[in-house]
Amino acid sequence: MKHAFVFPGQGSQFSGMGKNLYDTNEIAKELFEIANNILGFRISDTMFNGNDEDLKQTNITQPAVFIHSVAAFKTIENARPEMVAGHSLGEFSALVANQTLNFEDALKLVAIRAAAMQKACEIQPSTMAAVLALDDAKVEEICNKISNENGEVVVAANYNCPGQLVISGTVKGIELACEQMKAAGAKRALVLPVGGAFHSPLMMSAREELAKAIDATTFNTPICPVYQNVTANAVSDPNEIKHNLILQLTGAVRWTQSVQSMITDGATQFTECGPGKVLQGLVQKINKETEVNGVN
């Protein structure tokens, strides 16, 4: 029986996020102020008072979700996770929770990651789409077919839970894929309101930029394993964690497989730290027997 802590990614932001933590907890307030100083502007003001459009900008969204998530975790008295995982961006929060990274270094990496991803999005128009109620293998087959026959980039990007897979690629590739997914029996295939093809080869320029920053950052031996997106396996070696974190930008988020691995390794309770309840819902869809709760 193990307690797993999980951390959300981009998309869980909302106006007013983190304000209650800031107002009621001194540890959280101090983290927000440290973040404001590191970033060189008061991101806390945008989080607390900004509108949805303000919070949608990648260079705001990613640091905001990270800061909120770590602050939520730090408010848990005597929290000592036995395993951690994060969805995409959330992996950085997870690495602070298991003490692989300190807060300051992780925030700097998140800011570099966000800026690099934004830049990559501007290089080539690209997008993502959610595919519902279609077998993973069928989704992968259609993506491969379009890539091979049409020369468009289309890949499976986020394995969120059984029957919910997000694909990523060029605008044309995603359009073709959505048509073929529906024809193959998908309940829905919806283009998402995102600015680029995250977790696809189209993020290669961002990956190269992030790799330099990660290589120059100290990663410590963690107090517990992190189940990383690209492998869905427990990892404790700092060099392996670095390697997988770099690969994550162009690789798939294997969330379904990560949660299944954690349960196989003894996880019975999952606590989501950060804005929203998305991961709590996904964990329950992956395995209804698990106990889930959240701190936000």
pTM score: 0.96
Tokens encoding 60: 């705001």
Q: Do domains 2-121+201-295 and 126-191 have the same CATH topology?
A: no
**pLDDT, mean of residues 56-69:** 94
Cα separation, 250 vs 252, in Å, equals 7
Q: Is 178's pLDDT higher than 90?
A: yes
pLDDT-derived band at 66, boundaries 50, 70, 90: very high
Cα separation, 137 vs 175, in Å, equals 19
3-state secondary structure of 284: helix
pLDDT-derived band at 78, boundaries 50, 70, 90: confident
Q: One of 12, 44, 69, 199 is an active-site residue; which one?
A: 199
pLDDT the model gives residue 58: 87
Contact criterion met (CB below 8 Å) for 18 and 46: no
Contact criterion met (CB below 8 Å) for 128 and 105: no
Which numeric CATH code is attached to 126-191? 3.30.70.250
pLDDT-derived band at 56, boundaries 50, 70, 90: confident
Q: At the topology level of CATH, where does 2-121+201-295 sit?
A: Malonyl-Coenzyme A Acyl Carrier Protein; domain 2 (3.40.366)
Average per-residue pLDDT for the chain: 96
Q: How far is CA 254 from CA 13, 117, 242, in A?
A: 21, 20, 17
Contact criterion met (CB below 8 Å) for 134 and 185: yes
pLDDT the model gives residue 194: 83
pLDDT the model gives residue 47: 97
Q: One of 12, 88, 126, 168 is an active-site residue; which one?
A: 88
Residue 151: is it exposed, middle or buried by C-beta count within 10 angstroms (0-12/13-18/19+)? Answer: exposed
pLDDT the model gives residue 64: 97
Cα separation, 100 vs 81, in Å, equals 13
Strands 2-7 and 83-86, sheet pairing:
parallel
**pLDDT, mean of residues 168-173:** 97
For 202, what's the count of Cα atoms within 13 Å in the CB-facing half-sphere? 29
Return the domain boundaries, the chain.
2-121+201-295, 126-191
44 catalytic, yes or no? no
Residue 210: is it exposed, middle or buried by C-beta count within 10 angstroms (0-12/13-18/19+)? Answer: buried
As separate numbers, helices (DSSP H) first and strands (DSSP E) second, the chain gives 13, 10
| Segment holding 271, helix H or strand E | strand 267-273
What are the percentages of helix, strand and coil residues in the chain, rounded to 5?
Answer: 50, 20, 30
pLDDT the model gives residue 79: 87
- Could you tell me which residues come within 8 angstroms of residue 249 by beta carbon, excluding any fewer than 6 positions away? 113, 117, 198, 199, 203, 206, 207, 210
Cα separation, 164 vs 176, in Å, equals 18
Task: Give 192-242 pLDDT, tens digit per residue.
Answer: 988 799 999 999 999 999 999 999 999 999 999 999 999 999 999 999 999
